[in-house]
Amino acid sequence: MILGIVSWLVVAVVVGFIASKIVDLRGDDPRLGIAAAGAGGVVAAVLYTVISGSSVSARNPWALLATAIGAVIGVVAWHAVRSRSVSRESYTRRSSYSTTGR
């Protein structure tokens, strides 16, 4: 059981690192993306084992696939939240929306 959970974490971290490098276009710290991938991967693997009724094993390729998919979803969600909450660009109002120029 412990080996299965460790394998989930290893797969989630590796996939999370790769996905974090692909998704991150702003140069943020990759550690938070990798942590989000680890959490997303473990949650996805736990959901897979609960839904499918399979045991926790390091040799279950479907659980590892669910871990990888969960890791990618975790990274994408983290970077979507991060990019919306922190913006480095200042707000500029479009002149076409202004009613004072008419």
Give 17's pLDDT tier (boundaries 50, 70, 90). confident
pLDDT tens readout for residues 87-97: 555 545 555 55
Please list, residue by residue across 46-62, b when 16 or more beta carbons sit within 10 angstroms of its beta carbon and e when fewer do.
bebbeeeeeebebebee
| pLDDT score for 59 | 80
Per-chain mean pLDDT for the chain: 79
- For every residue of 18-37, which 3-state class applies, written as one string? HHHHHHCCCCCCHHHHHHHH
| pLDDT score for 64 | 87
Q: For the CA atoms of 75, 80, 84, 86, what is the dihedral angle to 10 degrees? A: 20
Claim: this prediction has a pTM higher than 0.95: no
Span 46-67, average pLDDT: 86
For 95, other C-beta atoms within 10 Å of its C-beta total 8
